[in-house]
Structure formats: C-alpha cells, structure tokens
Amino acid sequence: MSASQSAVRSRAEAVKVSRTFDWLICFTLFFIILGGYHVHFMLTGGDWDFWTDWKDRRLWVTVLPIVGITFPAAVQAVLWYRYRLPFGAVLAVLGLLFGEWVNRYFNFWGWTYFPVNFVFPSQFVPGAIVLDVILMLSNSVQLTAVVGGLAYGLLFYPGNWPVIAPLHVPVEYNGMVMTLADLQGYHYVRTGTPEYIRMVEKGTLRTF
C-alpha cells in the first residue's frame, strides 16, 4: 500500500472509522471537562464540600451553587450553540460527580480512612436538569441565565436535603447539643488553618 492510498476500502469501513474517532473525541472531552471542573470546584468549593460538618445553613448553600454553575453554563453554551444538544449542564455535573466520587472513595476513604458518610460530595443534578430544560424550552440565554440560574441555586439545598438531613439531627455529647455531623467532626480530626475555621456558620463547627 502506497503512502497516498486510503486506509479504508469501503464506505461502510470509513463510516465505522469516523464513528470510532468521534467516540474517542467524546471520551477525551468528557474527561477534560471532568478534570477542569473537578480542580476548579475543589479549589473554590473546598472544605464546604469535603466534610459533613462544613455543610452548614449559611455558607455551604451560598458558596457551592455560585462556584458550581460556571462549568455547566460554559459547557451548556457550547453544546447548545454548536450542536443544539440540550444536556450541557447535566453532562458537566455528572462529570463532576464521577470525579468527586472517585476522589472520595480512593483518596478520602481508601487512603485516609474517613468514612464515606462523612465525605460524600454535594450533588447538583436537579438544578442542572432544570437549567438545561429552561434553555431547551425557551431558546433564550437571558431567560436561562436569570430563571435557570436562580433555579439552579434554589434547588441545591432541597436536592441535598434527603442525604444531609439525618446528619443534622441534634444529639447531646459531653453536655453540649450538636448535630451528628459535628460529632463526626469530633472523632475524625483534620488539619485546619485560622482563616478556614472562621468561615463556617457561627455556632457550628465545634471540632476545632
């Protein structure tokens, strides 16, 4: 076979090679989005997403939706304008959840033995679904930014409540009333710096 001769012998074979190449691109792009979103979220969301006793009623529900909407909005915009695919936000969020669970299981649990119910990640799937549905039905970026962004933030706490609620049950320990999440923090010691210690709702995070 000469250097100028085609590597495929038929149209069917060319279609098969093209589709295989498309799948390789999709697979690679998914992990690029996953990696970028995961690093961004760990650097900005940080400890509010790592530990159950940091999942408070003030900063957890405020910080995480704000820092968590950037990548879904960007991926959503690219997939919608280029390909009219209405699942960009969900794709980004599922990538983040996959990366977070791999990190929590192999790093937090497998390496340092923090229990999974102490380090489980927050999830954004309900808000991402609403974000994509609003863009798909309205075909308006402005409406999606205002209404979809608002819904994304407002659905964060209800979407996580079924998982976090059992850990917010009050218990008495050494004469103090605290939540089960605070009690977990007592028994699983972590490092902390002063600027972090003060950035949790006042009256909680007794572990430091």
Is the alpha carbon torsion for 185, 188, 189, 191 positive or negative? negative
- CA proximity to 207, closest of 192, 47, 195: 192
pLDDT beyond 90 at 7? no
What is the CATH topology of the domain spanning 11-164?
A: particulate methane monooxygenase, chain B (1.20.1450)
The pLDDT of 20-39, averaged and rounded, is 92
How confident is the model over 32-77, as pLDDT tens digits? 999 999 999 998 888 788 888 888 878 889 999 999 999 999 999 9
pLDDT score at 197: 57
pLDDT beyond 90 at 15? no
pLDDT beyond 50 at 188? yes
pLDDT beyond 60 at 199? no
pLDDT score at 186: 83
Please give the angle made by the CA atoms of 197, 199 and 202, to the nearest 5 degrees: 90
pLDDT score at 206: 52
Ramachandran angles phi, psi of 177, nearest 5°: -95, 130
d(CA 45, CA 65) in angstroms, rounded, equals 9
Map out the domains of the chain as residue ranges: 11-164
Write down the pTM of the prediction: 0.85
d(CA 37, CA 40) in angstroms, rounded, equals 5
pLDDT beyond 70 at 201? no
pLDDT beyond 50 at 208? no
Buried b (16+ CB within 10 A) or exposed e, 164-180: beebbeeeeeeeeebbb
In this prediction, what percent of the chain has a pLDDT beyond 90? 60
d(CA 107, CA 109) in angstroms, rounded, equals 6
How confident is the model over 116-167, as pLDDT tens digits? 999 999 999 999 999 999 999 999 999 999 999 999 999 999 999 999 999 9
| DSSP 8-class letter at 53 | G
Q: Between β-strands 176-179 and 170-173, what pairing exists: parallel, antiparallel or unpaired? A: antiparallel
Mean residue pLDDT of the chain comes to 87
The pLDDT of 160-189, averaged and rounded, is 89
The pLDDT of 185-204, averaged and rounded, is 63
